[in-house]
Amino acid sequence: MNIENMEAFVYVIHYGGFNKAAEALYLSQPSVTARIQSLERELNCKLFDRIGKQIQVTEEGKRFLPYAQQLLLIYQKGKQNINQKKSLPDEFRIGCTLSVSNYLIPELLPLLNRVFPSTRYKIVTGVTDDIVNKVLNKEVDIGFVRNVSHPNLQSVKLYEDPIQLYTYEGHPFLSETTLTIEAIAGQPLVFFECGALDWLRIHRIFDKLDQPPNIQIQTDNSEMAKKLVIEKAGMCFLPGWCVRQEIRSGKLFPIYFPETDGISMQTNLIANLGEHAAFIEAILDIGKELSIR
């Protein structure tokens, strides 16, 4: 069955006549008529009744219409998929912050590989400013960075990661229903700080106190911070994404107090304007599957 004949059939119904369908298809009216007649011969039925200059779709035409539309849709999707695959790079370069490389990429890439099985991936880590420059200079194709805006980049929010206080199993605060800032500040703290502005809001929680918080250890490495908390060196403010596994295994426990409400780290997906739309769309869809948006 000729796909062009079905296309002409659907267009005639959509535009309400042969002439308008011919204009939309950039064909002559006799060419559209010939395609409809060819389709009628293939189906061995009349699809339209001609009443003077007017046409009316027959009952057989009405019954065939949804099948024709579905076949056209499948054909168009298949064509897009083939063209998309032809244009995909053999190697796709991803730049990301260290936290994204540690916690998101290992879950993301296997799912992304299902969508683009012929593509290889190269991962480069760095701070947000470095990744932005690498995207702009086309050293990497896309980047996972903190919330940024640049006139030459498309920047889409991928997820927000709430920052909370976490402690180890058996800490006395786990049995407390109400905690004051003073009580938390007096406890040994491991302070993880990645350099993002969000961490300034954590510092400001303690601004009103007469004494500074009891920070025993400072580090820019979240893995070290987690292990120190597990070994009972102190409590620590951490993004939720990086402690999911430890929470599931009962090694770390969140401590809630309202002063941390609304404090989070935003991760954006960036690329040069108009580039890598297929990958961006796939990553955003996978983000929904991973429940990170």
Residues 6+ apart with CB under 8 A from 259: 181, 205
State yes or no: pLDDT of 94 exceeds 90.
yes
The more confidently predicted of residues 82 and 22 is 22
In this predicted structure, what is the pLDDT of residue 208?
86
State yes or no: pLDDT of 293 exceeds 50.
no
Are the C-beta atoms of 11 and 39 separated by less than 8 Å?
no
| Rounded-to-integer distance, Cα 240 and Cα 165, Å | 9
In this predicted structure, what is the pLDDT of residue 152?
85
- Give the β-pairing of 235-239 and 189-192: parallel
In this predicted structure, what is the pLDDT of residue 46?
93
Are the C-beta atoms of 229 and 235 separated by less than 8 Å?
yes
| Domains in the chain: ranges and CATH | 3-87 (1.10.10.10), 91-293 (3.40.190.290)
pTM of the model: 0.64
Q: Which residues pair with 11 in a beta bridge?
A: none
Are the C-beta atoms of 136 and 108 separated by less than 8 Å?
no
pLDDT digits (tens, 9 = 90+) for 118-157: 899 999 999 999 999 999 999 999 999 988 888 788 999 9
State yes or no: pLDDT of 207 exceeds 70.
yes
Percent of the chain with pLDDT over 70: 93
Q: Which of 178-181's residues contact partners 24+ apart within 8 Å by CB, and which partners?
A: 179/255, 179/257, 181/205, 181/206, 181/208, 181/209, 181/257, 181/259
pLDDT digits (tens, 9 = 90+) for 152-201: 889 999 988 899 999 999 999 999 888 899 999 999 999 987 655 556 78
| Rounded-to-integer distance, Cα 140 and Cα 65, Å | 46
pLDDT digits (tens, 9 = 90+) for 27-71: 899 999 999 999 999 999 999 998 877 889 999 999 999 999 888
Q: Average pLDDT over the chain, rounded to whole?
A: 88
